[in-house]
Structure 1
Amino acid sequence: MASAPLAISPEVRAAVDAGQPVLALESTIFTHGLPRPRNLEVATEAENRVRSLGVVPATIGVVDGVPTVGLSPAEIKHLSTADGVVKASLRDLAVAAVKGLSAGTTVAATAYLAHLAGVRVFSTGGLGGVHRRAQETFDESADLGTLATLPLVVVSAGVKSILDIPLTLERLESLNLAVVGYRTTDYPGFYISDSGYDIEYSVSSPDEIARVSSVRDGLGISSTLLVANPVPEDLQLDTELHDDVLARALAAAEEHGVSGHDTTPFLLDFMQRETGGRSLDVNVAVYRGNVELGAQIALALSAVSSAV
């Protein structure tokens, strides 16, 4: 049986083979997370910023059925503007390939494809996690189980506050996913810098993160190191506004009988409307900060590897 096609751009392949720093970037933020034309602007800005720091960007998506690591500018524009682009998690990649679909890749799919290509660091906005009432619905993101099997470094601003954060932290522990806060032990809640829950360890620099990753690899531990990078307080969503809108969003979802995979888009759309678009601005600020830190970690990890 023929293996599924995987396209790796010549630039990304050469950088990985040479041990140069590469940063994986997801595509769902510009296929499904942001409105047009801001989505393309953010995607292009992220790539340019990574390059300006001396790191090769590897934006990942599916183009006409081909999982691609290192999308070209034309491919990013296509996924940003074309109608009919779907969202693909890891379970969807083979189906999308056979059907010739174009897709934005979720954290799970992006992480998996990055690992196949030899890319070790990945920046995203927020992780998927355990949903509220998961004790009854078993609703848990595929991100968690996938990251538990991949020896990557993933930078995020925690999980979105619409999820069940304490249950998510419990699952991360059960899955042996190490979580470190970047210069904090406050676990971020994506839109806000402090979710109200603590984590055990903080790290002070990209170099320290690279050393932790290197020791993990030496011990043969195959799970992802999660770096929780909070949005700066001056850029976060006003906490009182956040709490008020979130409470009303959850009540509205209950009132309208929204459940399952419809819950997250319903709640996020509610947050956007009721904050006058401010939640989208925070989303972009979060992503910018994570891309910046991810590039710095890729540089540090490349230096650590070269010194071994």
Structure 2
Amino acid sequence: MTTSMIQPQMTDEVAMAIAQGRPVVALESTIISHGMPWPRNAEVALAVEQAVRDEGAVPATIAVIDGICCAGLSPAQVERLGRDTDVVKAASRDLGACLVRGQTAGTTVSATMRIAALAGIDVFATGGVGGVHRGEGMDISADLTELSVTDVLVVCAGVKSILDIPRTLEMLETLRVPVVTYGANEFPAFYTPHSGIDAGERFDDPAQIAAARSANRRVGMTTGMLVANPIPAADALDAQEIGATIEASLAAAEAQGITGKDVTPFLLGRLNEVTDGTALAANIALVLNNARLAARIAVAGANPGVWA
């Protein structure tokens, strides 16, 4: 027996855009539910949606609401994600359990990709993707394996700087996920454009990225594509200072026995506290920057003959 795939519930705006072949950009919701305090979380979510609209695309914030996968949220749903304390955090592996239990969940990169693909959305903007954690353990984010099997283009500011960037890029290569960097020869490190790691493939035009995506599909690639978009220099943090802060925060997490999916929110919260809010400001700036680039890629890809 086969089971038909779930069609996510969509707002009229998102459903109409998809039906008409207009550009749509998916947005994740853990930034609302677990990434920032109320009411800043909701304010940022709505600002990111507006940034997508300003570039000519339609935003579709992804979440699970009362056990229903949603592509596009109302302002009331955004507020609920930002205020309610019973909202869970869901990666792709958690979606089935959330649906059965009727839970409301903020979706991580992997879960957002899965729901976006079900809705027929090709482009997704986030802050940073997960990856291979530092140290000798086997803590590897599901974001990487989701990129290997789900045909969605993901725009980010690189992998989160608390991770092992070289090993993450090696894993993406093993999983044959195309990785490109926008407008730079150096792969970005989330809060800073500088990681000391060669960018590999570089493109300077969103239309070129859309064309590369189309070419990947034409040769039979079925993976996602990762687009690394460096944080603007004016919003970036000092690479050495943030590196030292991350190392100290990782040591604190280990000392407190914090492991698994609890590590990232702990570290991000500690970084914001130690940097007197500058880490949060940088995070917001890079998310907005990624949303704009994702919208430009989606607009270029919606042109006939580019996004095949």
The equivalent of 2:169 in structure 1 is 169
Partner residue in 1 for 2:160: 160
Counterpart in the other structure of 1:109: 111
Letter in 1 for 2:194: D
Aligned to 2:69: 67
| Residues in 2 aligned to 1:257 and 1:98: alpha-carbon distance in whole angstroms | 31
1:60 alignment partner, SS class? strand
Residue 95 of structure 2 corresponds to residue 86 of structure 1: no
Render the CA deviation track for 1:35-92: whole Å, top value 9, x for unaligned.
1111010011111222222211111101111110111222112212222111111111
| CA deviation after TM superposition for structure 1 residue 6, in Å | 2.8
Q: What is the TM-score when the length of structure 2 is the normalising length?
A: 0.94
- Find the counterpart in structure 2 of residue 285 from structure 1: 285
Q: Structure 1 vs Structure 2: percent identity of aligned residues?
A: 45
User: What's the CA shift for 1:4?
Assistant: 4.8
Other-structure match for 1:20: 22
2:99 to 97, 100, 105: 97
| SS across alignment from 1:12 | helix
Once the two structures are overlaid, the 10-residue window that deviates more, 234-243 or 17-26, is 234-243
Q: Is the 8 A contact 2:27 2:112 kept in 1?
A: yes
CA distance in 2, matches of 1:197, 1:239: 13
| In 1, Cα distance between equivalents of 2:305 and 2:61 | 23
Q: 1:305: Cα distance to partner?
A: 4.3
Aligned letter for 2:28?
A: E
Deviates more, 1:80-89 or 1:121-130: 80-89
Alpha-carbon distance, 1:107 to partner: 0.4
Secondary structure of 1:59 counterpart: strand
Give the conservation status (yes or no) of the 8 Å contact 1:211–1:304.
no
- Residue 3 of structure 1, CA deviation: 5.8
Pairs aligned (count): 306
- In structure 1, the gaps of 5 or more residues are none
Match of 2:36 in 1: 34
Aligned counterpart, 1:253: 253
- For residue 264 of structure 2, what is the amino acid of its counterpart? T
Shift of residue 199 of structure 1? 2.4
Q: Which of 44-53 and 227-236 deviates more? A: 44-53
Cα pair 2:187 2:198 within 8 Å, conserved: yes
Distance 1:300 1:244 in 2: 40
Instruction: State TM-score, norm by structure 1.
Output: 0.94
| Structure 1 residue 15 displacement after superposition | 1.3
For 1:244, the equivalent position in structure 2 comes to: 244
